[in-house]
Structure 1
Amino acid sequence: MPAQPAGEPAPLDGSLPASAAVGAADRGLSLYVHVPYCRVRCGYCDFNTYTADQLGPGASRSDYRPMLAAELDVAADSMRRAGFPAREVSTVFFGGGTPTLLDAEVLAGVLDDLRARFPLAADAEVTTEANPDTLNPQYLAVLAKSGFTRVSLGMQSAVPEVLATLDRTHDASRIPQVVAWVKDAGLQVSLDLIYGTPGESLDDWRTSLEQAIACAPDHISAYSLIIEDGTRMAAQIRRGQLPMPSDDDAADKYELADALLSRAGYQWYEVSNYSTGPETRCRHNLAYWRGDDWWGFGPGAHSHLGGVRMWNAKHPRAWADRLNAGHSPVIGREVLDVPVRELERIMLTARLRDELQIASLPAAAQLEAAEFARVGMLDPAEYERGIFSPTLRGRLLCDLMVRRMTDAL
């Protein structure tokens, strides 16, 4: 599990720098809720997650809602004292971990607690991640009634052997049934897929894509597996127990995903994300990529408000102890200067299909963009309209393009 960022200590009372509220009226506000509980910790995962036997009284699932409510009070007070204008929340995202390990009534109650302190827009997008084996029609009916609008299912693969390598516990054959339940509840559904698992063949990946498409979800995310240092999978690869996937293998699988998803009517809008149209894009993730304000709640959650980046105590016990003492759980923060904010703006919006305006780039970066268009890494028609929109080749080399443009700053 990665260490927390380096930064300055945050005030115990949660006070924010005055700069955080500057221009806030022109930015959207999103909320993220981290639910750190998992039944099994997957070998590839380096997220801030814990199984039940790792946590004792005060940090368990039964303690989660009242502790989170205490954090919400601290956050609302911090924003009020910093002079933030009244804003409606446009998106809420419950991530983890496995949020749906909480009882449906508890998850719905947390949303009520959020709504009581941070008014939600009438059309707010409210998403929860879920493992397929934690859902049933009754659970989904409670979520829909309480105001959830979207479920992001961790499908990962349709191939049992690949799921076993990833330590995923769900039965892939149940995915179509669970997707149908989500739709019957009136909720949008996204399927999350992972490619590049050690030992996964191109045919395995084709099977996963075809079965995901057959479910006709509103949205599909296709992420390349990143082998993170410190994970069990990284140790297995180091010992030679699993093969290290190659960059060429990842590129072949991305090209296959793009071909099959495009043929099925899905449109890419971010390098790893496809939807049936603009109305089914994940608005919460777009808020991150566009640099809106977002406040993260729960153990280890991160926040970004007007160029101020903050992070909570990571372990659920440390998080709860700070709240029980009447303190903010935010333990560190970083105030980003103008050059860093500009670098991050380019880095994030360059991954999007239609967000980065060529004219908004510094002159040296505009010259780089012109070269990218010349060699086929940017859509020529979009480039003529002044839009930085990567082609398939450009998406495969997006990190290189970002480095070239930001090196020119």
Structure 2
Amino acid sequence: MAPALPDGDPAPDDGALPDSATRDAASRGFGIYLHVPFCTVRCGYCDFNTYTASELGGGASQRAYADTALREVELASRVLADAGMPARPVSTVFVGGGTPTVLPADDLVRMLDGVRGAWGLAPGAEVTTEANPDSVTPESLARLADAGFTRVSFGMQSAVPHVLATLERTHDPRRIPAVVRWAQDAGLAVSLDLIYGTPGESVDDWRASLDAVLATGVDHVSAYGLVVEQGTKMAAQVRRGDLPLPAEDDQALKYEIADAALGAAGLHWYEVSNWARTPEQACRHNLAYWRGHDWWGIGPGAHSHVGGVRWWNVKHPRAYAARLEAGLSPAAGRETLDPQAVQLERVLLGVRLSEGLPLDAVSPRARHEVAGLVADGLLDGRAALGADGAAARALLTLRGRLLADAVVRTLTD
């Protein structure tokens, strides 16, 4: 079950933005997130806003979804123009889910064409889709590449059958090298996503998954520690004792193993859970989130942020379609971030990046805590001192990455 939407202020039915949202807009990047809320099977650990065919009910369908999403693209274009937002081509597009590639490739292409028609794509724009390994063919990947997609992120999660079975993933891990090759042959950059800390996953299992990833030669890897979210099937299994949680230090050990293996293979961390072979191969769309740029989220449950105003759409595809068909914004609520919230988010997100967080971004009280964080091995001492003429910054060590939440708590008021 997807988590409840946050509390907030009522969102206007026409989606209009306050004048403050346009301030300094030209200095910020602009991206589009397209949420496709459909999956063939709901995985037991998943709490994303996704639906299988049996969960949808009347009034919503995969067949009509592209047209529905394009209505929100039109709304977004109109709202930004009415707000006097300077014309900005889209720097990044990310199609996520769910499993976007359960839709026909032509539907994904039509959605991208709608974005291109509304704002244009910046030269060299990054256009990514997520995909399951069993939801693509050589032909579908070639169709996406020909239409302007530049990147695909496959939800591999593990190379070990019993781990995939616990996660309720449906693909055959032996298919991974083939889908990577198909995507690369089509001219797409490829990222592989992994999950570590699944109940029953041994250290040897985790090493086998990393070895399988590195054997493909991909240039980007994401690795996330499993979080058992309340309300999911897996949480119920854990509560009943059907699935034993790993030992407390299991995820920390596996993170260290991943960082060492990926680093030895020439992939470098640029965010706590992400590694790329070069800075150019980092996911620019996600970097835009972490750097506080603007994005409009299209789709049920999608979140948006423009100029310090954040809003979120109604969750169910049926309610989302109904509002757009009635000519209304699908937004369920919104908030305008005050300076304290902006500051908190800058620290919360910025400290996770390998570029580090400038120490002038934290309060004087927090700066007094930096020496202690260095002494505890959580922050890099040379970076904190501004060695080699660089600006002083909070840069996580490997241990600091394992305890990033504790560092953030210390650096915020």
Aligned residue in 2 for 1:55: 56
* Aligned amino acid, residue 404 of structure 2: C
1:309 aligns with 2:310: yes
Superposed displacement of residue 346, structure 1: 0.3
Gaps of 5+ in 1: none
Q: Is the 8 A contact 1:158 1:208 kept in 2?
A: yes
Deviations 1:331-365 (A, max 9, x none): 10011110011011000000001141123322111
Structure 1 residue 27 corresponds to structure 2 residue 28: yes
Give the drift of 1:245: 2.6
Where do 1:125-204 residues align within 5 Å? 125-204=126-205
Corresponding position: 1:389 with 2:390 = no
- 2 CA distance for matches of 1:376 and 1:387? 15
Give the secondary-structure state (helix, strand or coil) at the position aligned to 1:268. Answer: strand
- The yes-or-no answer on 1:398 pairing with 2:404 is yes
1:370, distance to aligned residue in structure 2 (A):
2.5
Report the alpha carbon displacement of residue 307 of structure 1 after superposing the two structures with TM.
1.1
Which deviates more from structure 2 when the two are superposed, residues 35-44 or residues 365-374? Answer: 365-374
Partners of 1:52 and 1:236 in 2: CA distance: 24
Q: Which runs of 4+ in 1 moved over 6 A?
A: none
Instruction: Measure, in 2, the Cα distance between the counterparts of 1:388 and 1:354.
Output: 9
Which deviates more from structure 2 when the two are superposed, residues 366-375 or residues 277-286?
366-375
Cα distance in 1 for residues equivalent to 2:12 and 2:239: 41
1:354-365 mapped onto 2 (5 Å cutoff):
354-365=355-366
Partner of 1:75 in structure 2?
76
> Secondary structure at the residue paired with 1:134?
coil
Aligned to 1:122: 123
Amino acid at match of 1:395: R
How far apart are the structure 2 equivalents of 1:232 and 1:376? Answer: 38
The offset of 1:382, in angstroms, is: 2.5
Aligned-pair CA distance for 1:247: 3.0
| Structure 2 Cα separation of the partners of residues 7 and 85 of structure 1 | 27
**Counterpart amino acid of 2:409?**
R
Give the structure 1 partner of residue 210 of structure 2.
209
Could you say what secondary structure the match of 1:133 adopts?
Answer: coil
Contact kept, 8 Å, 2:347 with 2:361, in 1: the verdict is: no
Q: Give the letter for the 1:25 counterpart.
A: A
Give the aligned residue type for 2:371: A
Aligned to 1:43, what secondary structure does the other structure show? coil
> Which amino acid in 2 is paired with 1:33?
L
CA distance, structure 2, for counterparts of residue 52 and residue 17 of structure 1: 38
Other-structure match for 1:66: 67
Aligned to 1:290: 291
Q: CA deviation at 1:379?
A: 2.2
Quote the offset at 1:56 in angstroms.
4.2
Matched-pair contact (CA < 8 Å) for 1:312–1:332:
yes
Give, as a single letter, the amino acid of the residue that structure 1 aligns with 2:218: P
The superposition leaves residues 247-285 of structure 1 with CA deviations (integer Å, 9 ceiling, x where unpaired) of 311111111111111111110000010000101000000
The separation in 1 between residues aligned to 2:69 and 2:347, in whole angstroms, is: 34
The answer to whether the Cα contact below 8 Å between 2:356 and 2:396 also exists between their aligned partners in 1 is no
Contact 2:343–2:361, Cα closer than 8 Å, also in 1: no
CA RMSD of aligned residues (A): 1.0
Once the 2 structures are TM-superposed, how far is the Cα of residue 246 of structure 1 from its aligned partner? 3.3
Contact 1:126 1:147 (8 Å CA) reproduced: yes
1:336 aligns with 2:337: yes
* Secondary structure of the corresponding residue to residue 54 of structure 2: helix
Deviations 1:213-244 (A, max 9, x none): 11111100010001000000000000000002
8 Å CA contact 1:13–1:327 kept in 2: the answer is yes
Separation in structure 2 between the aligned mates of residue 405 and residue 63 of structure 1, nearest angstrom: 47
Q: Taking every aligned residue pair, what percent have the same amino acid on both sides?
A: 59
Give me the whole-angstrom Cα distance separating, in 1, the residues matched to 2:398 and 2:181.
Answer: 32
Moved more, 22-31 or 41-50: 22-31
The residue that corresponds to 2:96 in the other structure is 95
**Counterpart Cα distance in 1 of 2:80 and 2:59:** 27
The residue number in structure 2 matching 1:45 is: 46
What is residue 255 of structure 1 aligned with on the other side? 256
Q: How far off its partner does 1:73 sit?
A: 1.2
Q: Distance in 2 between matches of 1:78 and 1:379?
A: 44
**What amino acid sits opposite 2:199 in the alignment?**
P
In structure 1, distance between residues paired with 2:290 and 2:132: 25
Deviation by residue 1:36-74 (Cα, 9 ceiling, x = unmatched): 010000000000000112224541111111111111111
TM-score computed with the length of structure 1 as normaliser: 0.98
Deviation at 1:11, TM superposition (A): 0.7
C-alpha distance in structure 1 between counterparts of 2:356 and 2:122, whole Å = 23
**Shift in Å at residue 298 of structure 1?**
0.6
**CA separation in 1, counterparts of 2:107 and 2:195?**
29
SS in 1 for 2:249: helix
SS in 2 for 1:193: strand
DSSP-derived class of the 2:134 partner: helix
Q: How far, CA to CA, are the matches of 2:129 and 2:73 in structure 1?
A: 18
- C-alpha distance in 2, partners of 1:115/1:355? 33
Offset from partner CA, 1:367-387 (integer Å, 9 cap, x none): 222222233222233333313
Q: Please say if residues 353 and 388 of structure 1, whose CA atoms lie closer than 8 Å, have aligned partners that are also in contact.
A: no
- Given residue 388 of structure 1, which amino acid in structure 2 is its aligned partner? A
